[in-house]
Amino acid sequence: MGNKVKATFIGVGAQKCASTWLHRMLEEHPEVGVGMQKEIDFFSYHFDHGYQWYERQFTNCEQKLAVGEISPSYFCEPAVPQRVQQYQPKAKILVSFRDPVQRALSNHRHEVRVGHFTEEGLSFEAGLANNPMYVEQGRYAAHLKRWLQYFPAEQILVVLMEDIEKDPLAVARKVYAFLGVDESYEPQYLSKQFNKSYANRSRALLGIKDALYKLTRTPGFGWLWKLGSLLGLKAMYRGVNTLPSDIAIPEPSENTLAELRKQFAPEVRKLSELIQRPLDAWL
């Protein structure tokens, strides 16, 4: 068994704020080690598994300068900041944000895609009524303040999705410098889009796909998912059972968006003060 590897950085979300892009930028860097799967969710959903279980997720990361993971479930869970601080008080914390209204819309498309929300019509308004987390996860200032209670500001890097869209290489290098690895490294997939939104035609087919995916996350079966990709099975599934979300989900009303923006406005202003950046475009 290899030496124990302890995480030195934790990416905490928020959800639907470019966490997959960040994971790929870190995964590619030769001096960075990431967990064997994205979204380990240890400090939120699997804390009862214990530190040994968590550290086994990094057994492929020996000799790396920076080791860690990204789990967007961490950001707004009240118990998580203290748990991370107790485990690794020197951890560097990566946080990513986007316009909270756009985040809520993306959250809705995700819930439709994974089959959590299936009401006829799939409207954003119905999704808002169904799932309070659409709004709760956009309360960035309230949740960031909790992290600042346990970690000094110099150990927290805030990344904005708008900056990634504008200059992805600059953001990647900023993240690399923050983690203390070679910031001159240029990752291959800088501008690649991940997790495109779509809706599923058949919940039965979605269930079969999810069951197979769960099997591939079992140790020893990861090769099945790679084989499926090589054989074109994933692309075939998407062609048979998915629709682009902009076709399946109707556009939200302007009144809904205006009310949501008004609701988020105090949080946006507080966040602007916390991170010392103007966020007028979100207002």
This prediction has a pTM of 0.82
**Residue 245 pLDDT:** 58
**Residue 1 pLDDT:** 43
Could you give the number of structural domains in the chain?
2
Copy the structure tokens of residue 77: 């869970």
* Within-domain flag for 262: no
Residues 86 and 172 in one domain: yes
Residues 214 and 152 in one domain: no
* Within-domain flag for 127: no
Residues 220 and 164 in one domain: no
- Provide the domain limits for residue 178: 9-99+138-195+278-282
Residues 62 and 188 in one domain: yes
Is there a contact between 160 and 96 (Cβ–Cβ < 8 Å)?
yes
**Strand 198-200 relative to strand 242-244, pairing:** antiparallel
Residues 173 and 41 in one domain: yes
- Please write the tens of the pLDDT for every residue from 124-152: 999 999 999 999 999 999 999 999 999 99
Residues 154 and 20 in one domain: yes
Residues 209 and 73 in one domain: no
Residues 84 and 154 in one domain: yes
- Please write the tens of the pLDDT for every residue from 185-224: 999 888 765 555 545 555 555 556 556 555 555 555 656 5
Question: pLDDT tens per residue, the chain (283 residues)?
Answer: 446 899 999 999 999 999 999 999 999 999 999 998 889 999 999 999 999 999 999 998 999 999 999 999 999 999 999 999 999 999 999 999 999 999 999 999 999 988 899 877 899 999 999 999 999 999 999 999 999 999 999 999 999 999 999 999 999 999 999 999 999 999 988 876 555 554 555 555 555 655 655 555 555 565 655 666 656 655 555 555 555 555 578 999 999 999 999 999 999 999 999 999 999 999 9
CATH number of domain containing 40: 3.40.50.300
Residues 180 and 224 in one domain: no
Residues 55 and 158 in one domain: yes
